[in-house]
Chain A
Amino acid sequence: MGTVLAAIAIVFNILSGGLFMSPENLYNIAQQTAVVGVVATVVVLIIVARHIDLSVGSVMGFVGVLIATLMYTGGWHWATASLAGLAVAIAVSLYQGALTAKLGVPSFVVTLGGLMSFRGAAFLVADGKTQPVNDLFFQRLGGGFDGAIGVTPSWVLAAVIVAALVVQMWSKRRAKASYEVPNNPLWLDAAIVLVPVVIVLGFVAAMNAYQIPSKDAPQGVPIPVLIWGVVALLLSFIVHRTRFGRYVFAMGGNPEAAALVGIPVRKVTLMLFALMGVLITVAAIVSIARLNAGTNSLGTSMELYVIAAAVIGGTALAGGSGSIMGSVLGALIMQSIDSGMLLLDVSIGVRYVIIGQVLIAAVVFDVIYRRVTGDTV
């Protein structure tokens, strides 16, 4: 999938005469993908657990407008407003989660209702009026003019990530050795570490090369991308290192077996929806900070983009398989194609047609791949 993304980038770069891979365009793509990317990470887990959430866009709109209204009309500090938004988002998610987990109402139905209801709620919060966001610090969370961390912190960040990758691999090898579990050959493990190292360094170099003409220093890593990265790392950690993550996959792989071995299926489902609420709030904050306003149309049809990102990223709608890093790549692939076509002046109609077919192509590829390798799930 990484190869697909690289191929897309190279093709668009040639077609656009080098514009696609310019630091400015890469900066914009990274930043624009962040909101969809944040929500897609947790939608992967929802789909893995054999559920779906169609209400993400509406709930994000509702929470976004709510936070903006509390700040603008209510005069609240951004932090308290955000916490209030978080509380409401978790309450909404627990309501939908409880209907699904405790009563067994299909999540498709619950969240389809939510898709409509919470869009309505987004309208009701401020009576349909747009709520400007003026707090300068808060605006930085959305990226934009002052929304990046600068050159030196970006390099420091890159150094920390590289060091962390190396230490992680080293401690993994040591742990395996201490339990007498066979290790990969050293060169293979080195190559496994080298790939993300090169990507991180390349990305930071590109972000540090982008300078807004009216500013006297380059941007560095945009804050929304940083947030997305932290979210993706956190969720990867949850998937690989915690019981909760393992149970989500077990429930998706065989719900009956999960119950028989004593996994608290309902509790895990409820926690999963609560996690959804947390990340929808994060996405809502980044979103209104980026637009400098909360409007009742915020997040419209985002559910389709996040599900598409998850599916392009290799998440099987039948449940049981999917990965967080896949969703990151899926979101980037979708945004890259959209942005690449925009650079080439492709009309909006054609763009929609093509993106829709890319989604299908990703699933067709997945189906064929599974048939060839003999995996049925």
Chain B
Amino acid sequence: MSQHPQPLVEMRNIRKAFGGVHAVEDVSIKLYPGEVVALLGHNGAGKSTLMKMLAGAYPIDSGEVRIQGETAAIRTPVDAQRCGIESIYQTLALADNLDSVANLFLGRELLTRWNTLDDHRMDAEARKVFHRLNKNFKNVRTPVRRLSGGQRQVVAISRAIYFNAKILIMDEPTAALGPEETAMVGNLVKQLKAEGVGIFLITHDMPDVFGLSDRLAVMKNGKLVGTYRTTDVAEDEVLGMIIAGKQPEGKVQTHTL
């Protein structure tokens, strides 16, 4: 099957332990351009830990990460950003005391030629990105703790869009959102997918899984239960994998597009 495109991300035999607890054990997973892979599992199944390793937030104990076929040494969030990996964390990772513009560019500020912060340029650029996601988002200079859940989500998502993510990790992006904002996130996922961005979607929400993902991977107790094409499995089979760690009978695992 050599005519398959090259995977955007290939994580091979990844392991991670915290003290004596094996958070992730020998997990291998691939992500292709323009593909959405849903990562499912109980709380503590290891899906967030796996993604945090890809995002450089946790160091990997053993295993290999390949980005577009090349071995990537991802040790810090900056390494991950260089590989085109952006993350939208469940906690959103926003500094509540700073405004949305500062948060959008946090860690990657635009500078003037004197190496000082170019606030006006950042302000202007930020307004453009926010406007794309939410036309009513005007109070960009308010500390983000005063913004609504949806606006805070817009700020977090804007990071991924502005910095042209090739690989996007979304950790429960719709957990705190109303229906309208959930639809906005759904549309965004489809739009990014069409642009060839690969997306890992961590979620508990079955409509999201079946509405947005191409493949789904289920984890339990740090191990991968299985990876299937979303259209091949039914909801109760997915729940069986999440709750009992039971692979559905007669279904073939799919590790490629």
Distance in angstroms from A184 CB to nearest chain B CB is 12
For A377, list chain B residues within 8 Å (CB): 96-97, 145
- A179–B97 CB distance below 8 A: no
Q: Interface-forming stretch among B86-94, B177-185, B198-206, B217-225?
A: B86-94
Distance in angstroms from A5 CB to nearest chain B CB is 25
Question: Chain B binding site: helix, strand, loop or mixed by DSSP?
Answer: loop
A243→B127 CA distance, assembly (Å): 20
Distance in angstroms from A310 CB to nearest chain B CB is 16
For B214, list chain A residues within 8 Å (CB): none
A313→B119 CA distance, assembly (Å): 25
Query: From residue 27 to 78 of chain B, which have CB atoms closer than 8 A to chain A?
Result: 55-57, 76-78
Interface size class of A (residues with CB under 8 A): 20 to 34
Distance in angstroms from B155 CB to nearest chain A CB is 11
Is B124 interfacial (CB 8 A cutoff)? yes
- A241–B116 CB distance below 8 A: yes
Q: Interface-forming stretch among B102-110, B232-240, B241-249?
A: B102-110
Is A320 interfacial (CB 8 A cutoff)? yes
- A253–B76 CB distance below 8 A: no
Query: From residue 89 to 140 of chain B, which have CB atoms closer than 8 A to chain A?
Result: 89, 91-98, 102, 106-109, 111, 115-117, 120-121, 123-124, 127
A179→B120 CA distance, assembly (Å): 7
- A180–B109 CB distance below 8 A: no
Is B153 interfacial (CB 8 A cutoff)? no
Distance in angstroms from A102 CB to nearest chain B CB is 16
- B77–A261 CB distance below 8 A: yes
A329→B111 CA distance, assembly (Å): 31
For B93, list chain A residues within 8 Å (CB): 254, 256-257, 260-261
Is B151 interfacial (CB 8 A cutoff)? no
- B120–A178 CB distance below 8 A: yes
- B102–A252 CB distance below 8 A: no
- B95–A257 CB distance below 8 A: yes
For B159, list chain A residues within 8 Å (CB): 261
Q: Contacts A246-B109, A259-B77, A263-B107 given; indicate if A181 touches B95 (C-beta within 8 A).
A: no
Is B81 interfacial (CB 8 A cutoff)? yes
A176→B121 CA distance, assembly (Å): 9
Q: Contacts A246-B117, A250-B95, A253-B97 given; indicate if A261 touches B106 (C-beta within 8 A).
A: yes
Is A258 interfacial (CB 8 A cutoff)? yes
A33→B56 CA distance, assembly (Å): 47
Interface residues of A (CB under 8 A from B): 175-176, 178-181, 240-243, 246, 249-250, 252-254, 256-263, 320-321, 374-377
Can you report 13 residue pairs joining A to B where beta carbons are below 8 Å apart?
A: A179-B124, A181-B123, A250-B98, A253-B95, A253-B96, A257-B91, A257-B92, A257-B94, A257-B106, A258-B107, A262-B77, A262-B81, A321-B97
Interface residues of B (CB under 8 A from A): 55-57, 76-78, 81, 87, 89, 91-98, 102, 106-109, 111, 115-117, 120-121, 123-124, 127, 143, 145-146, 159
